[in-house]
Structure 1
Amino acid sequence: MTFWDDYRDTILLALSVAGLVWYLAMWSIGLLGCWAARRRYRLRPRSPLANATSAPGVSVLRPLKGLDTNLYENLESTFTQEYPNYEIIFSVADEGDQALPIVIDLVSKYPQVNATVIVGEEVVGVNPKVNNLVRAYRQAANDILWVLDSNVMIHPGTMARGVDVLTCPPPPNSSSSHRRVGLVHHVPFAFANETKIGSRIEEAFLNTNHAKMYIAINTVAIESCVVGKSNLYRRSDIDRVTGSLETISSDTSGSSQSAECGLPAFGRFLAEDNMIASALWHELGLRHELSCDVVRNVVGNMSLSDYIRRRVRWIRVRKHMVLVATLLEPFTEAVVLSIMASTSLRHLFGVPLWISLLLHFPLWLSVDLDVYASLAGHPLPAALRWEFIAAWAAREFLALPIYMLAIFGSEVVWRGNRYQVLRNGEVRRATSGRFGSWLRQYTRSKSMKDYEPLETQPSSD
């Protein structure tokens, strides 16, 4: 045996050991997410604040644009919260928005709830959601803000349990005992009321792999990881952060900082929710907590191409925010891991490939289905089993091709507009030629295809 043969065998041995160690590490993270989901979501106790005579005031901010799927029920769930002291502020960018009549109807239906509507955005950056939120953010009467996307529905006890977590002091003997909670967030639990393949794949992804990894990362809590479907935080904290992610000393007030502070400072980011969470974590040293509630995310009419575009968009954004984690992402997916494990086991122990593959996928699926059961409160219904598993398999096998499509670009399309993703997740409007103009028109027409024009528009005050 020559030197090069020895060298090759050594390299193969090292790669096989590293591959098996990585595989076991990914299994540990997956099992952690499964265990944490069982521990957190299978019991949801009623909060004492639900029946309290007094409680901290909460301002619920719901930015709206167009007719999201299940919009009436989503918004109505805000009016039925079991909490004694809250207001709701809806915001739309223009008076012709088709969500406006639904809001007006709900405000009339629940006159006992303090609800207002703000029409007209304030442009502070390229992010349309932030532009839509700024006026509501400034008008809110309470320090505790709950920003809720329009495509999620919430349980009546969600607000009370969320405020419990936000205002609860850190547990004793905790490694984070010196850090108070700065943000409470919720795992989205998706359900598709459409039979389109993209809707089913998105539902399977959010309720299994995404939820498992999201819960595991937040259980370890070594870095900020937040989805912005439902976030509670204090305006007094947001008013101090800038998005620079540089530590702010406790004696520095927002007014004395040279950079812009508060919500308007995040108008330059596409993923403003993640950046706000990171700013609270890094700039103020505050921690995040998951509540024991989920928010029900209604997946609308999503084709396969819609699903692919959505995944491409957020991979490209993450690449400019957390590069190392994004580069490692393919090696956390079931298909790539199965290849790593099977080749490592064959080289180290002579295990046939088919045995490794035959064991890997059923076990991986069983963990994912257990996470689903924890979030849903019940096992996967038998009537949906094979359709859901097919969508789960499609998601797993599409993950690597979608990643390869996404990783080599920096332009994304969101709500009919093209953006160039810059360093740290900042964006700017992308300039393009005739093809780009056609693509924007095509995307905008697809986003509006399910909307019916209103015969009459409400007048603005």
Structure 2
Amino acid sequence: MNSHPESKQCPSLFPFICAIIGLVWYVVIWEFVIRGCRTARIRYRTQPRSSLATAPPSSFPGVSILRPLKGLDANLYENLESTFTQQYPNYEIILSVADEQDQALPVARALISKYPNVTARVIIGEEVVGVNPKINNLIRSYHEATHDILWVIDSGVSVAPGTLARSVALLETSTPTIFSKKRIALIHHVPFASTQEQFLGSLIEEAFLNTNYAKMYLAINVTAVEACVVGKSNLYRRSDLERLNGSLKPRALTDNDQPEDCLRGLAAFGKFLAEDYAISSALWHELDLRHDLSCDVAHYTIGKMSFSDYVWKRVRWIRVRKHMVLIADVAEPFTESLVAGSIAAAALWYLFGIRVWLFLVIHNAAWLWVDLDVYESLAGRPLAADRRWLFIGAWCLRELLALPIWILAMLGDEVVWRGKRYEMFGAGEVRSSRQEMEFRGGDKLLGKGTTINSC
């Protein structure tokens, strides 16, 4: 019996469908890439004057700048000084350290002496509300801050003098967009990294943050379909945070189920290692509010970072995100240059016979060109000629490492941060590893006599 003629074509249907899906995915990824590049050009190549520039000083809302300190970060003095020189008439600075022996304390005191006209003070001593040391360091500053608007900025970051004015204007006068008609509750700044150290890890980190990371960060935020915030420099209102319980779920679904003494405000996020993403996600989902990017960058100085330091930092990021936004974590390899390009190359070869090597050369050259354009937009200048090939070499190594690092990260749940081991679980919550709990006394982790009701 002769088989039906069409049955001979059936085996080719599956690879044909896969090839079409692969090309569609490639087009979607490039749409995001171009969107990120275009956003960088539009938003960061010019810095307009703040709408508050011509307003009387009395109309400027007060801002409390909170800077948690831990040790001597690279360029610490310059980083902290950048907040003492803000062109804004109504702000205070609160510098916090966990203990009196911290090496950052003399730097903080020197700057307070240098700028006597700036309202600034140091708070010594943490209040332990969870396992996140940054939150523990900030709690007292958070409660003692004079103003409702808070600017939480990491010690490794410096900012331009007009950053605060432009950010407050955006927070105060934010208007609905075509993507969202929700009130803006958080203003954040895309990191721009620099390094004077010729360490391999530092160079790779610089290339990663200023190209691939930056363009995808910008594209996701301008699309505004989900919270995507890094906490190096964020502005928000304490009155909004005080309505959050850290459940990351709409208030209507959780209010009736939570005890009266459930933690709220900043303390509710001490259970998260990625408190920046958790806060932004809580504002988004619990209060149905939105975020926006200012036209300023958070200048981040990278210190001495070895190759191993870079690898394990990326592993930590991926493992944290795996427990908070699993879908995004699973999809990440398919957004990378080598994987996305390989998928498209295979599809084009199958459908049209285009040589794989030729397509990959064109694809990677175009991807690099876009990444360098993003760098130039954020930096406000072209990449220096004497560093161009070093930067491109680090960029190539970053691209090659992306998939192996992702695989390594997905195989585990333990992360190391500031010399301590943590285990990820739940919706991004974290607990000290068994060894750390035993070392610190287990149930004494939250401090003597402290009782915490987590939501």
Query: What TM-score, normalized to structure 2?
Result: 0.92
Q: Distance in 2 between matches of 1:49 and 1:128?
A: 35
Aligned match for 2:161, one of 156, 159, 172: 156
Q: Distance in 1 between matches of 2:180 and 2:416?
A: 39
Residue 236 of structure 1: how far off its partner (Å): 0.2
Q: Distance in 1 between matches of 2:418 and 2:53?
A: 37
C-alpha change, 1:415 and 1:4, in structure 2 (3 Å) is farther
SS at match of 2:229: coil
Q: Distance in 2 between matches of 1:58 and 1:426?
A: 30
Residue 229 of structure 1: how far off its partner (Å): 0.3
Q: Distance in 1 between matches of 2:216 and 2:327?
A: 16
Q: How many residue pairs were aligned?
A: 431
Matches within 5 A, 1:112-191: 112-171=117-176, 174-177=178-181, 179-191=182-194
1:147·1:232 contact (CA, 8 Å) conserved in 2? yes
Give CA-to-partner distance per residue, 1:430-461, whole Å, 9 cap, x none.
1249xx99xxxxxxxxxxxxxxxxxxxxxxxx
Aligned match for 1:354, one of 343, 353, 357: 357
SS at match of 2:151: strand
Residue 43 of structure 1: how far off its partner (Å): 1.1
Unmatched 5+ residue regions in structure 2? 440-455
Aligned position for 1:447: none
Aligned position for 1:85: 90
SS at match of 1:373: helix
Give CA-to-partner distance per residue, 1:189-226, whole Å, 9 cap, x none.
00011000100000000000000000000000010000
Aligned position for 1:397: 400
1:333·1:396 contact (CA, 8 Å) conserved in 2? yes
1:29·1:213 contact (CA, 8 Å) conserved in 2? yes
Residue 6 of structure 1: how far off its partner (Å): 3.6
SS at match of 1:227: coil
2:179·2:224 contact (CA, 8 Å) conserved in 1? no
Amino acid paired to 2:126: E
Q: Distance in 1 between matches of 2:34 and 2:186?
A: 25
Give CA-to-partner distance per residue, 1:401-449, whole Å, 9 cap, x none.
000100010000000000000111100001249xx99xxxxxxxxxxxx
Unmatched 5+ residue regions in structure 1? 438-461
Residue 117 of structure 1: how far off its partner (Å): 0.2
Amino acid paired to 2:57: T
Aligned position for 1:260: 263
Aligned position for 2:442: none
Aligned position for 1:429: 432
Give CA-to-partner distance per residue, 1:325-354, whole Å, 9 cap, x none.
100100000111121011110001000111
1:53·1:84 contact (CA, 8 Å) conserved in 2? yes
Q: Distance in 2 between matches of 1:222 and 1:56?
A: 30
2:246·2:282 contact (CA, 8 Å) conserved in 1? yes
Aligned position for 2:72: 67
Give CA-to-partner distance per residue, 1:140-160, whole Å, 9 cap, x none.
000000000000000000000
Give CA-to-partner distance per residue, 1:98-124, whole Å, 9 cap, x none.
000000000000000000000000000
C-alpha change, 1:329 and 1:175, in structure 2 (3 Å) is closer
Aligned match for 1:107, one of 112, 119, 123: 112
Q: Distance in 2 between matches of 1:221 and 1:256?
A: 33
SS at match of 1:324: helix
Amino acid paired to 1:323: L
Amino acid paired to 1:366: W
Aligned position for 1:20: 23
Residue 5 of structure 1: how far off its partner (Å): 6.1
Aligned position for 2:447: none
Deviates more, 1:238-247 or 1:106-115: 238-247
Aligned position for 2:298: 295
Amino acid paired to 1:139: E
C-alpha change, 1:33 and 1:107, in structure 2 (3 Å) is same
Amino acid paired to 2:379: A
Aligned match for 2:251, one of 248, 252, 255: 248
1:248·1:283 contact (CA, 8 Å) conserved in 2? yes
2:423·2:433 contact (CA, 8 Å) conserved in 1? yes
2:179·2:223 contact (CA, 8 Å) conserved in 1? no
Give CA-to-partner distance per residue, 1:257-306, whole Å, 9 cap, x none.
56311000100000001000000011111110000000100011000000
Q: Distance in 2 between matches of 1:80 and 1:88?
A: 11
Q: Distance in 1 between matches of 2:301 and 2:376?
A: 18
Q: Distance in 1 between matches of 2:185 and 2:288?
A: 9
Q: Distance in 2 between matches of 1:31 and 1:262?
A: 37
Aligned position for 2:61: 56
Query: What TM-score, normalized to structure 1?
Result: 0.90
Aligned position for 1:194: 197
Q: Distance in 2 between matches of 1:65 and 1:136?
A: 15
Task: Provide the alpha-carbon RMSD of the alignment.
Answer: 2.0
2:149·2:235 contact (CA, 8 Å) conserved in 1? yes
Answering whether residue 381 of structure 2 is matched by residue 378 of structure 1, we say: yes
SS at match of 2:126: coil
